[in-house]
A and B are shown apart, each in its own frame.
Chain A
Amino acid sequence: MSTNNTLTAKDFSSDQDVRWCPGCGDYSILKQMQTVLPELGVARENLVFISGIGCSSRFPYYMNSYGMHSIHGRAPSIASGLKAANPNLSVWVVTGDGDGLSIGGNQLIHLLRRNFDINVLLFNNEIYGLTKGQYSPTSQLGIHTKSSPLGSIDHPFNPLALALGAEATFVARSMDRDPIHMRDILKKAHEHKGTSFVEIYQNCNVFNDGAFEKFTDKKQKASTTLNLQAGEPLLFDNGEMGVRLNGFQPELVKLEEGYSINELWIHDPTDTTKAHLLSRMFGDDVPRPFGVLYEGKRFTYEKAMQDQVDASIKAKGLGDLDELIKGKNSWVVE
């Protein structure tokens, strides 16, 4: 057994050259992952990264762990089979908006509802990068791309609302340009027992540069983002603005206009209803929530699966192959 305590970020870096475009947001995510791993206490041999196809899916090649770069959209199923086979592994799925939400949409939602203890990192750059710039299922309506020269007419997905709708037990959002935040979310995703769904806004500087600039740009960031902290009021704009709930309707209020901080919405990530409301804060007129929107408790699939095997052995005894082959009705020919 290797002792993870002595490892550093470098120990999780493979000998392969990283081949993302210079300036790609993926570099930051890779670095934060490698940085945070020594703190997680997972032995390198028990760490597995599974990906599908797309720029993000090259990720496993750069990690010095077990890994599989599989086929388009199917990483959630491969990870499910792996976790079922060996529940002791720390399994991470790396996917993108095309891989996870388009071709692999079915695999993703079924992973979320089953709640295997697997961490899903969805790199969302709102574009198809590896196929050189077609609109994706998260691209903004009207976007002009190679395959939508007249503007996209595809209404985009809201990935976190989708994840909550699919009964995910951990739903969070982070961004490539905020390393501290991302490390914190990666740790929390790891700690959660169940499927953790983390959407990471990731800039594609070649085909969709600046897609998330309003959330990452230092000047705009304060007023466009909402940093969620459990038990804390929803504040933004350097504490000058807040969000309160009027029934089920979030309202943006200015604190200096007579609103008290006590009236604000206090973030409770265990509240599903409020998590849905947060996920719907998705338009241009409201700040975008970052952090853990929801964290609930539900049994994990791999444990339930193993429990059934154990219970079956307890009830019937460990299977006797000869008895099984013989069946209930056999006869002897002399």
Chain B
Amino acid sequence: MAATTELQKVTIHFAGDSGDGIQLAGSQFTNTTALQGNNLSTFPDFPAEIRAPTGTVAGVSGFQIHFGSVEINTPGAEPDVLVAMNAAAFVKNIKNLRIGGTLIIDESGFDKRNLRLAKLDENKNPLDDLDPNDYQVHRIEITKLNREAVDGLTLSNKEKDQSRNLFVLGLVYWLYHREMETTLTFLQQKFRSNETILEANTRALKAGFHFGETIEAAKRYTVSKADLAPGTYRNIVGNEALGLGLIAAGKQSGLDLFFAGYPITPASDILHFLSRHKNFGVKTFQAEDEIAAITAAIGASFGGSLAITATSGPGMALKGEALGLAVMLETPMVIVNVQRGGPSTGLPTKTEQADLFQALYGRNGEAPIPVIAAMSPSDCFDAAIEACKIAVERMTPVILLSDGFLANGAAPWKFPKSASLPTITVHKATGDNYQPYARNENLTRQWAIPGEAGKEHRVGGLEKEDITGNVSYSASNHEKMVKIRAAKVENISDMYAPLELIQGDTTGKVLVVGWGSTYGASKVAVRWAREEGLSVSQLHLRHLFPFDKELGDYLSNFENIVVPELNNGQLVKILKQEFEGNIHGLNKIQGLPFKAKEIFEEIRKHA
């Protein structure tokens, strides 16, 4: 009987070929771990190619999960466990494995061919050179054992090997005292139409689990339930939370939800999610291109729907002209940009925050659009609702920024009851003598929808005459309208909840100011710094345009401002332009999220 040790937190990195089912194993481990009550954060990292060259380092697909009984805000830096299904996965990840960590290897992924493909000497297995004092190494013939487990089923060897991921998942389940039930139920659902495959995967999972008992000197670990605030929880990834938020906003506003999108990584899952939930009255439209997607949304908005489009950077570029039209029409809609590495096609499956300038400025003319950003997978839900609320209540397009890390990353979510969600009030046109561009006290115009008698009117991209909305080429009217549109968007900050620090005091040496998906890493870094006694606080911005009114006051109370961003310095430039103070950028442009350590070290420099 293997001894069991209790741990506070663990980071496991699953790595293998992009066809090895690593993402499935990772997401199953995540769901099981969430249901066992641990706090967690995940980071799926996979190649842009569907089937990248087999056995190569470029083809390695990875899934990292950080879970624990304590607060978890990042997917972890140095894994405690590395599962490497082949030599390439080993080469790519061994440098990250913590000294003293556990290495689980499929020995059959280290034959001459695999060594060669990983650009290693085919006559020298790197596993033989590992210092046994560095890692606890489990070299296992996973492929062979798994074929034995599924022996007797009418499957080709290739098909048999496709269940190897379940074998290794079973083994890791055993090592960390995870229950198999969630995954067994999942398999029954997924393979309900193919009994043989179901049987193979079920056997593989159980075989891996029971194999644990046979490993000599294997240590088992447990991780107690996290001390989460009381409530009901689920596990959620960002894109799904975002889709849920859109459906919720449809309900809260009483409007029909219309979503138009063109498939693009990493935003497509929002389209997939919504198209599965048509029983919420959701209409989804897969358009012929990015331009058609946003213009169909504009048409649906004109027709009275809550209209949404989602894309990533390159698609956002194509939507630029239509965004300008939406600004002129002053019609409510939300444009979601799930950012990825750019420019151009860039790094489609990697995360980045380099589209902030594009969101703020990427249009011809004076075309202000509110920009808000989600900061965690579950926050995508709240951010989506807020984006819709601003759009509908202030009759404006709104850009919602997410990114690849949030889109695919998972975290536990203490989800709300729908009764507690914000209300969204629609400004339907009332009374006679409708004037399309007459405004209320916060400069919002009224929405008259085709089908309403007596309110027939024309809108368009040409400059509008104030109040009537008729075409106007008047110089003074143009200047007036540009100023009105700007003031209208500036006024939106009066809708915001008060800006509050995430942690720390309101004055001090260093204030870390982030936005978007850097939230978790900043939170950990600032906590570490505070534990060391440093005078550090954390602020995180939901609203990139217009800024919260209190922002300037916060900044002025700190000697140094540190702005971590996954770009070459965008928010930091805007802050420097608009505010006084010692403002320092911390930038990482590697297609990867920050490690808390990186931010922590920057804080130390200024504290």
Contact = CB atoms under 8 A, between A and B. Distances in A.
B234 A333 contact: no
A324 B244 contact: yes
B281 A319 contact: yes
A66 B321 contact: no
Given A68-B302, A71-B461, A85-B258, A324 B280 contact: yes
Contacts of A306: 283
A110 B452 CA distance: 29
B233 A309 contact: no
A106 interface: yes
A194 interface: no
A331 B35 contact: yes
A83 B450 CA distance: 11
Contact of A74 (B285, B291, B302): B291
19 contacts: A65-B456, A66-B456, A67-B459, A68-B299, A70-B325, A74-B292, A78-B296, A78-B302, A81-B307, A83-B299, A84-B258, A84-B283, A86-B451, A309-B279, A309-B281, A316-B279, A322-B418, A331-B234, A333-B230
A308 interface: yes
Interface in B245-298: 247-248, 251, 256, 258, 260, 277-283, 285, 287-289, 291-293, 295-298
Given A78-B295, A81-B296, A1 B453 contact: yes
Nearest to B256: A85
Contacts of B281: 309, 313, 318-319
Nearest to A57: B460
Interface of A: 1-2, 14, 16, 43-46, 48, 50, 53, 60-61, 63-72, 74, 77-86, 88-89, 106-107, 110, 305-306, 308-309, 312-313, 315-319, 321-322, 324-327, 329-334
B247 A324 contact: yes
A315 B324 CA distance: 40
Contacts of A319: 247, 277, 279-281
Given A71-B322, A325-B416, A82 B470 contact: no
Given A16-B470, A81-B307, A315 B279 contact: yes
Contact of B231 (A1, A2, A77, A333): A333
A66 B456 CA distance: 5
A333 B233 contact: yes
A74 B322 contact: yes
A69 B277 contact: no
A106 B35 CA distance: 48
Given A46-B450, A48-B450, A321 B279 contact: no
B450 A44 contact: no
B258 A81 contact: yes
B454 interface: yes
In the complex, which of the residues B300, B460, B461 has the most CB atoms of chain A within 10 Å of its own CB atom?
A: B460
Contact of B234 (A68, A82, A316, A327): A327
Contact of A77 (B31, B244, B296): B296
A74 B292 CA distance: 7
How many interface residues does chain B have, given as a range?
35 or more
A252 B339 CA distance: 61
Contacts of A308: 278
B412 to A, nearest CB: 9
Interface of B: 31, 34-35, 37, 182, 225, 228-236, 244, 247-248, 251, 256, 258, 260, 277-283, 285, 287-289, 291-293, 295-305, 307, 321-322, 324-325, 329, 381, 414-418, 449-462, 470-471
Contact of A71 (B35, B285, B296, B325): B325
Nearest to A85: B303
Contacts of B455: 45
Given A48-B450, A86-B450, A319-B277, 9 more contacts: A61-B460, A61-B471, A77-B299, A81-B285, A110-B292, A309-B283, A322-B418, A326-B234, A327-B236
Contacts of A327: 234, 236
Nearest to B304: A85
B281 to A, nearest CB: 6
A68 B415 contact: no
A1 B457 CA distance: 17
Contacts of A81: 258, 260, 285, 295-303, 307
A89 to B, nearest CB: 5
A68 B299 CA distance: 9
B437 to A, nearest CB: 14
A324 B249 CA distance: 13
A60 B304 contact: no
Nearest to B275: A308
A12 to B, nearest CB: 10
In the A-B complex, list the 8 residue pairs whose CB atoms are closest, starting with the nearest: A81-B299, A69-B460, A85-B303, A81-B296, A319-B280, A78-B299, A82-B299, A312-B278
In the complex, which of the residues A84, A316, A332 has the most CB atoms of chain B within 10 Å of its own CB atom?
A: A84
In the complex, which of the residues B296, B307, B416 has the most CB atoms of chain A within 10 Å of its own CB atom?
A: B296
Contact of B299 (A45, A72, A79): A79
A305 B283 contact: yes
Nearest to B448: A66
Contacts of B418: 321-322, 325
A60 B35 contact: no
